[in-house]
């Protein structure tokens, strides 16, 4: 028996490769399937099953392309309705896998079709549980993403029963492999690890502690932040189907001349620049939106960019395909090419450029007493802001910058000093401000991590928000 977790850090997503005697199964694959095919090839195995724990909301699964490439059936839990052919598993159904087996445990609550997959080893002992979004390290799946007409409280109550009846009775030694790790928005506060044991979770996970159903519902539903806007779109794509990735590559990896690039932009295409933040700020095409590949690229693209507009790319040379693939992971399909030669081609042609001025944290600190027009824009999440911020800072979470009214609270007479936690989100925010016509702005290098270390800095905490 062989198990490998294939973890994608920028999405906090875990897919799984399970194999016994040359027969393999994939659980919750990403849209780009090459790693799974290569792993099976390297191990001289055949992929026999594609198991889905539920309709994912935070990424587009690779189930359709993987099924086409391997001939393996796609397996979903009870009650799942799809726009393509799948095997609808029943609760307790067992799938042989070489000398091992996988049992379906229907665990509704995060979504109604959610299942966990219980792997039994060659001795028919419970060995590992692949929990999807039902159970995480330190948390459980939020019950407000796919209601099916039910309230969050109703789904939380169903989740309680699933945990009590299907998961808690399993042996403590069973390995627990969830679909997500830290940073995911599919739970409230996931722990730092990407796997655990059920015994460890029974001790430490708040959702598995002895409690009443009513108290569980209160804990699970309280303090939920709004889900990213693209979650509902991704869930629908996973349920209804999508364009094969190879087709998207054929169209999206088209090199564009400057003239073709400019024509596409004039027709409303979004210019998306995926170069590193420190490269982007030194020079970019006016009107570009920056979302760098070095950060949580796909998540921020999904949260900030419209899905109904074309996208044209500006990338580092050689990063064109990576940019496209990572966009498709969260459902973008209208990608219509990239600037051939990248920004350097634009620069060499003498086309107009723009830039963002970077400043160190101490320069911000020195400017505050002397510039009455200085406005500090903190684009961290509300919770981060509450834990500590500068006294005069205005909190505008980056995720809210799709709302024109939020940006309209500022005006061109202000000198905007923008910061986040470390310097990635602030550059995204600066590019959005630039696109809306704000040019008196600075990006604070190192963000709050640098600002908070300055001598004599006065840190304000929002105690009410923290409580």
Q: What is the DSSP letter of 97?
A: E
User: Rounded mean pLDDT of 89-102?
Assistant: 98
Select from 77, 71, 98 the least CA-distant residue to 28: 77
Same domain? For 386 and 342 the reply is no
Distance CA 385, CA 225 (A): 14
| pLDDT tens digits, 166-192 | 999 999 999 999 999 998 988 888 999
Per-residue H/E/C for 40-84: HHHCCCEEEEEECCCCCCCCCECHHHHHHHHCCCEEECCCCCCCC
My answer on whether 159 and 249 are in the same domain is no
State which of 348, 382, 407 marks the end of a domain: 348
Give the tokens for residue 148: 């099916």
**357-373 tens-digit pLDDT:** 999 999 999 999 999 99
Query: Can you give the pLDDT at residue 261?
Result: 98
Quick one: how far is CA 460 from the chain centroid?
A: 30
Q: Tell me, what CATH number does 24's domain have?
A: 3.60.15.10
> What b/e readout covers 115-150, taking b as 16+ CB neighbours within 10 angstroms?
bbbbbbeeeeebbbbbbbbbbbbbbbbbbbbbeeee
Could you read off the pLDDT of 31-57 as tens digits, one per residue?
999 999 999 999 999 999 999 999 999
Pick the last residue of a domain from 199, 233, 267: 233
Does residue 94 sit in the same domain as residue 222?
yes
Is 238 a member of any domain? Answer: no
- For residue 87, with 0-12 CB atoms within 10 Å meaning exposed, 13-18 middle and 19 or more buried, which class applies? middle
Residue range 305-329: average pLDDT?
97
Q: Which residues contact 448 (CB under 8 A, 6 or more apart)?
A: 378, 380, 384, 388, 389, 419, 420, 421, 422
**CATH code of the domain covering residue 440:** 3.40.250.10
pLDDT of 462: 85
Query: Are 300 and 387 within one domain?
Result: no
pLDDT at 223: 85
Model's pTM, two decimal places?
A: 0.94
Domain count, the chain: 3
Residue 395 shares a structural domain with residue 251: no
Q: Can you tell me the distance from the alpha carbon of 355 to that of 358, in angstroms, rounded to the nearest whole number?
A: 9
If asked whether residues 197 and 307 sit together in one domain, one would say no
Same domain, 457 and 329: no
Supply the DSSP symbol for 354: B
Give the structural domain span for 322: 243-348
């Amino acid at each position: 028996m062989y198990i490998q977790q294939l973890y994608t850090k920028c999405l906090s997503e875990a897919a799984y490769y399970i194999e016994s005697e040359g027969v393999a199964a994939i659980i919750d694959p990403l849209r780009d399937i090459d790693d799974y095919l290569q792993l099976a090839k390297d191990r001289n195995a055949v992929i026999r099953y594609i198991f889905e724990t539920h309709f994912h909301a935070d990424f587009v699964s690779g189930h359709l392309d993987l099924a086409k490439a391997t001939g393996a059936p796609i397996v979903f839990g009870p009650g799942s309705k799809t726009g393509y052919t799948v095997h609808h598993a029943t609760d307790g159904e067992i799938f042989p896998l070489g000398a091992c087996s996988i049992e379906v445990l229907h665990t509704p609550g995060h979504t109604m079709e959610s299942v966990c997959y219980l792997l039994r080893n060659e001795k028919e002992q419970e060995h590992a549980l692949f929990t999807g979004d039902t159970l995480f390290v330190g948390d459980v799946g939020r019950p407000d993403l796919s209601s099916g007409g039910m309230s969050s409280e109703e789904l939380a109550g169903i989740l309680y029963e699933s945990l009590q009846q299907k998961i808690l009775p399993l042996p403590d030694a069973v390995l627990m492999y969830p679909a997500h790790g830290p940073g995911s928005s599919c739970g409230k506060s996931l722990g730092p690890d990407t796997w655990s044991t059920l015994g460890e979770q029974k001790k430490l996970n708040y959702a598995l502690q002895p409690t009443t159903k009513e108290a569980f519902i209160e804990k699970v539903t309280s303090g939920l932040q709004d889900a990213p806007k693209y979650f509902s779109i991704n869930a629908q794509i996973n349920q209804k189907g999508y364009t094969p990735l190879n087709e998207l590559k054929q169209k999206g990896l088209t090199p564009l001349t400057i003239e073709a690039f400019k024509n596409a932009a004039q027709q409303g295409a979004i210019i998306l620049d995926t170069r590193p933040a420190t490269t982007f700020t030194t020079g970019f095409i006016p009107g570009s939106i920056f979302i760098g590949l070095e950060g949580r690229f796909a998540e921020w693209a999904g949260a900030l960019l419209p899905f109904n507009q074309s996208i044209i790319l500006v990338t580092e040379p050689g990063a064109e395909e990576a940019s496209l693939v990572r966009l498709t992971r969260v459902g973008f399909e209208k990608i219509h090419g990239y600037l051939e030669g990248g920004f350097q081609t634009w620069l060499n042609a003498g086309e107009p450029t723009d830039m963002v001025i970077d400043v160190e944290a101490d320069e911000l600190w020195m400017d505050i007493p002397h510039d009455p027009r200085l406005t500090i824009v903190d684009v961290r999440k509300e919770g981060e802001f509450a834990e500590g911020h500068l006294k005069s800072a205005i909190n505008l979470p980056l995720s809210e910058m799709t709302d024109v009214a939020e940006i309209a609270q500022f005006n061109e007479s202000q000198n905007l000093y923008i910061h986040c936690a470390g310097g990635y989100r602030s550059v995204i925010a600066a590019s959005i401000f630039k696109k809306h016509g704000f040019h008196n702005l600075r990006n604070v290098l190192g963000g709050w991590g640098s600002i908070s270390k300055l001598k004599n800095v006065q840190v304000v905490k929002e105690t009410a928000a923290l409580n």
